[in-house]
Amino acid sequence: QDQPRVVLSARGLGRDFGGFTAVNDVDLDVRHGLIHALIGPNGAGKTTVFNLLTKFLQPTRGTITLLGTDITRMRPDRVARMGLVRSFQISAVFPHLTVLENLRVALQRPAGLAVQFWLPLSTLNRLNARAEALIDDLGLTAFRDTRAADLSYGRKRVLEIATTLALDPEVLLLDEPMAGMGGEDVQMVADIIRNVARDRAVLMVEHNLAVVEDICDEVTVLQRGKIIAHGDYATVSENPQVRTAYMGT
Ligand code: ADP
């Protein structure tokens, strides 16, 4: 069957810290239009994999390819400009600025315009239009002029995701996007992520398995730095190794 194209892939990815192997032999494909979950118990190596993919950490072994380009030796800022963006990288939300103002700042940043006081009217109009579009896409229309500090916890997270999208990433890496959230906010953010993934690829670390089951198309399970299962949620959750190792049943 026809699978959506792979935009980010890792082959034989590994990282040692001194004599300790934190990640070993990880193969991963992240596809356009799909949400891929990376799950596993604490210490499994999920954060290390994220750091390797974004090039915050240099891999000890293996290769990483982004949009057909080998990025294994590339610097993190170049990788980000190529379209691989992690949520916290630019998720600096300014509490005293409104939703719209935050997005305008986020949109100016990648264009290198942040330090300019004066912008050509055409540029301003373009930034404003992009900001308004992002606001509508992420269901923030009613909060356009609300200061970030006055948003609910869940909506603040949505604003963070929106500022990340200002870079128009091809691949979005989300590190526990539901952390610390109550049920209603979880549902809202889940819907937003689903929406966001329609025209880009999403790789997320998520502990909430109900969310993984609900919105993720593909799941990779790590244990002690190695992949122990991969597939859709139903397949992975029935894997005996996953059940004993991860779910404790
Ligand atoms: P997870 O995100 O799945 O909880 P991590 O990637 O944070 O797992 O950690 C995987 C393993 O690598 C853990 O045993 C952790 O202690 C170890 N580790 C992570 N970063 C470092 C480091 N900078 N130095 C030494 N050990 C590390």
pLDDT digits (tens, 9 = 90+) for 51-71: 999 999 999 999 999 999 999
Q: What is the pLDDT of residue 249?
A: 47
Distance 22 CA to ligand 1 centre (A): 6
Q: Which residue CA neighbors atom 7 of ligand 1 most closely?
A: 47
Q: Assess whether the C-beta atom of 19 lies below 6 angstroms from ligand 1.
A: no
27 — phi, psi (to 5°)? -110, 130
177 and 249 belong to one structural domain: yes
**Are residues 237 and 120 located together in one domain of the fold?**
no
Q: Looking at the structure, do residues 73 and 176 belong to the same domain, yes or no?
A: yes
* Same domain as 79, residue 174: yes
Q: What is the pTM of this model?
A: 0.91
Query: Whose CA is closest to 8, among 50, 64, 63?
Result: 64
Domain co-membership, 142 together with 181 = no
Probe residue for ligand 1, chosen from 38, 46, 47, 48 as the CB with the greatest number of ligand atoms within 8 Å: 48
Label residue 77 exposed, middle or buried (CB < 10 Å: 0-12, 13-18, 19+): exposed
The 8-class DSSP code of residue 98 comes to B
Residue 124 lies in a domain: yes
85-130 per-position pLDDT tens digit: 998 654 568 999 999 999 998 888 765 555 556 677 888 888 889 9
Is ligand 1 within 6 A of the CB of residue 45?
yes
In the chain, how many domains are there? Answer: 2
> What CATH number does the domain containing 14 carry?
3.40.50.300
User: Looking at residue 140, what is its pLDDT?
Assistant: 95
Q: How far apart (Å, rounded) are the C-alpha atoms in residues 28 and 8? A: 8
Burial of 35 (0-12, 13-18, 19+ CB in 10 A): buried
pLDDT at 1: 64
Domain-located, residue 13: yes
Same domain (yes/no): 39, 12:
yes
Let me know whether 235 and 113 are in one domain: no
Q: Which residues contact 44 (CB under 8 A, 6 or more apart)?
A: 222, 223, 224, 225
Q: How far is the CA of 123 from the centre of ligand 1 (A)?
A: 44
Residue 193 lies inside a defined structural domain of this protein? no
Q: Is residue 194 part of a domain?
A: no
Do the domain assignments include residue 229? yes
Distance CA 243, CA 221 (A): 11
Residues 160 and 182 in one domain: no
Enclosing domain of residue 30: 1-83+170-186+199-249
Write out the two tokens for 19. Answer: 């004599």
Residue 53 beta carbon below 6 angstroms from any ligand 1 atom: no
**Pairwise CA distance, residues 6 & 21, whole Å:** 27
What's the 134 CA to ligand 1 centre distance in angstroms?
35
Residues with Cβ within 8 Å of 118's Cβ and at least 6 positions away in sequence, in order, are none
- Looking at every residue in the chain, the average pLDDT score rounds to 91
Tell me the per-residue pLDDT of 135-180, one tens digit each, with 9 for 90 and over. Answer: 999 999 999 999 999 999 889 999 999 998 988 899 999 999 998 8
> In three state form, how does the secondary structure of 105-171 look?
HHHHCCCCCCCCCCCCHHHHHHHHHHHHHHHHHCCCHHHCCCEHHHCCHHHHHHHHHHHHHCCCCCE
Residue 127 half-sphere exposure toward CB, CA atoms < 13 A: 22
Which pLDDT score is estimated for 91? 54
Q: Which atom of ligand 1 is nearest to the CA of 44?
A: 3
Looking at the fold, whether 72 and 174 belong to one and the same domain comes out as: yes
Instruction: Give mean pLDDT, residues 176-200.
Output: 92
Looking at ligand 1, which residue's alpha carbon is closest to its atom 26? 17
117: tokens are 């006081």
Q: Tell whether ligand 1 has an atom less than 6 A from the beta carbon of residue 44.
A: yes
